[in-house]
Amino acid sequence: MSAAPETREGTAPIGRRVRLFLRHNSLGLFFVTAFLLALSGQAVAGHAEFNNQLVADGLEPIGFGAYLTTSDFGVDVMENWQSEYLQFFLYIFGTVYLLQRGSPESKELGRAGIESDQDQMVGEHAADDSPRWAAATGWRTAVYSRSLGLVMGTIFLLSFLAQSVTGVAAYNEQQLRQLQAPVSWSAYLSSADFWSRTLQNWQSELLAVASMAVLAIYLRQRGSPESKPVGASHSATGVEG
Amino acid sequence: MSGRTASVAALAVLVTVSSCGTPSERRGRVTEDVTRFERALDAGQPAQLCAALAPSTREELEQAAKTRCERAIGEQGLPRAGAVRSVDVYGGQARVVLEHDTVFLARFTDGWKVTAAGCRPRPQQPYQCEIKSG
């Protein structure tokens, strides 16, 4: 957000300030709202499916609140979260070193790597409005220079762990319902159920990233920063619209 | 971001613990209900045994035996099970391994009910049970 709109937001009447806030943050607000709606829809549909199965097995259906605390709902949410955060973690770190000729998702050819302090505006090259840890030296700069990938990677690991914990509980509940023995957490980590859930998510995320990186070489979306300008050549690399 | 991380951890804890007490409390309730079932079996109390069965298990037993549960359950040859060796509870399902029997249960509004009893393990297959739902 540039300095000028912030100044206008700060001095404008409250109604206008709210409208400006919504407009200036519409990307994040739209996706957070859509996420909550989709998660709610998943919970409603998942609850209905879970109860259908319980009734079919001669068991008692459960309430919506109880369903939200089941491992069945938990594993369905976690398996998607971990794959999304893995996707962004790989993309953030991968695009430091990997290039794609003609793609706006890639840096310019020849700029692979972590780049110079001058290019990255760190240490003595930091500007007046740079984040404090970018201007600092030592471990703070090292951590802050990788903070986006580190946080994405940490969330991936935590949600992957949560998937394994909720997954073994959901799997064992199903095993017991079918009069079969439960398995341990470590045995579940090498089970077909765990890797089927995991890989079906990973393959779709990796396909989406590969599609974006390659299709954006030849296709355009006017006005989107994810695309090159409509008139940019197919060979132009690292150019965003 | 720390909020998101906390949400992931909180969801994992919520899902693991579940809304119906801690794991040890749930295992305790399951053990109580199985013990009551086994005492009724030892004492030859068919009414109490049938009351402890899940509705679908009771229905299956009556259909297979073509008689009332209270008559049919005495003819099933359920073993004297002995002491509880281990209890597994996952969500609304439980397995109790006893010295001479394995019993499966499911959670209902009025407590844990037996879905299968007189069960013997089979390699790579579901337990073989004397009584179970259809």
Question: Which percentage of chain B shows pLDDT scores above 70?
Answer: 85
Contact list, A53 vs chain B (CB under 8 Å): none
Distance CA A111, CA A102 (A): 14
Distance CA B12, CA A36 (A): 18
Nearest to B12 among A154, A166, A175 (CB): A166
Work out the mean pLDDT of chain A and round it to a whole number.
94
- Taking only the tens place, the pLDDT of each residue in A13-51 is 899 999 999 999 999 999 999 999 999 999 999 999 999
Please tell me whether residues A60 and A84 are part of one structural domain.
no
Contact A181 B95 (CB under 8 A): yes
Q: What is the pLDDT of residue B95?
A: 98
Please tell me whether residues A18 and A100 are part of one structural domain.
no
Q: How many domains does chain A have?
A: 2
Given CB atoms, is A83 within the 8 Å cutoff of chain B?
A: no
**Taking CA atoms, what residue in B is nearest to A152?**
B1
Domains in chain B, CATH or no CATH each: 22-132 (3.10.450)
pLDDT band, residue A2 (cuts 50/70/90): very low
Is the torsion defined by CA of A77, A80, A84, A89 positive or negative? positive
In a domain, residue A122? The reply is no
In a domain, residue A126? The reply is no
Please tell me whether residues A22 and A92 are part of one structural domain.
no
Contact list, A179 vs chain B (CB under 8 Å): 104, 116, 119, 126-127, 129, 132
pLDDT band, residue B11 (cuts 50/70/90): low
Nearest to A176 among B9, B94, B134 (CB): B94
Range of the domain at A60: 1-65
- If you compute the radius of gyration of chain A from its CA atoms, what whole number of angstroms results? 23
Q: What is the pLDDT of residue A8?
A: 57
Please tell me whether residues A12 and A38 are part of one structural domain.
yes
Given CB atoms, is A122 within the 8 Å cutoff of chain B?
A: no
Distance CA B52, CA B40 (A): 9
In a domain, residue A110? The reply is no
Please tell me whether residues A85 and A51 are part of one structural domain.
no
End-to-end CA distance of chain A: 17
Nearest to A155 among B4, B12, B104 (CB): B4
- Taking only the tens place, the pLDDT of each residue in A92-142 is 999 999 999 999 999 999 999 999 999 999 999 999 999 999 999 899 999
In a domain, residue A128? The reply is no
By CB atoms closer than 10 A (0-12, 13-18, 19+), residue A228 is: buried
Question: Which percentage of chain A shows pLDDT scores above 70?
Answer: 96
Whether residue B20 is predicted with pLDDT greater than 80 in this model: the reply is: no
Whether residue B9 is predicted with pLDDT greater than 70 in this model: the reply is: no
Q: Choose the final residue of a domain: A48, A65, A82.
A: A65
Please tell me whether residues A75 and A182 are part of one structural domain.
yes
Taking a contact as any Cβ pair under 8 Å apart, which residues of chain B between 24 and 43 contact chain A?
none
Please tell me whether residues A38 and A80 are part of one structural domain.
no
Distance CA A127, CA A131 (A): 9
Task: For residue B29, give the amino acid letter.
Answer: R
Contact A173 B92 (CB under 8 A): yes
Please tell me whether residues A88 and A3 are part of one structural domain.
no
Q: What is the pLDDT of residue B74?
A: 87
Contact B15 A70 (CB under 8 A): yes
Q: Are A68 and A30 in contact (CB under 8 A)?
A: no
Distance CA A171, CA A193 (A): 8
Whether residue B60 is predicted with pLDDT greater than 70 in this model: the reply is: yes
Work out the mean pLDDT of chain B and round it to a whole number.
88
Q: What is the pLDDT of residue A80?
A: 97
Q: What is the pLDDT of residue B18?
A: 47
- Taking only the tens place, the pLDDT of each residue in B87-106 is 999 999 999 999 999 999 99
By CB atoms closer than 10 A (0-12, 13-18, 19+), residue A118 is: exposed
- Taking only the tens place, the pLDDT of each residue in A181-221 is 999 999 999 999 999 999 999 999 999 999 999 999 999 99
Mean pLDDT of A88-92: 96
pLDDT band, residue A4 (cuts 50/70/90): very low
Please tell me whether residues A229 and A193 are part of one structural domain.
yes
Q: What is the pLDDT of residue B1?
A: 41
- Shortest distance, CA B102 to any CA of chain A (angstroms): 10
In a domain, residue A111? The reply is no
In a domain, residue A38? The reply is yes
Please tell me whether residues A54 and A84 are part of one structural domain.
no
Nearest to B90 among A161, A162, A172 (CB): A172
In a domain, residue A121? The reply is no
Please tell me whether residues A46 and A99 are part of one structural domain.
no
- The C-alpha angle A151, A152, A155, rounded to 5 degrees, equals 85
Structure token pair of residue A20: 């400006």
pLDDT band, residue B76 (cuts 50/70/90): confident
Q: What is the pLDDT of residue B4?
A: 56
pLDDT band, residue A1 (cuts 50/70/90): very low
Please tell me whether residues A54 and A99 are part of one structural domain.
no
Given CB atoms, is A201 within the 8 Å cutoff of chain B?
A: no
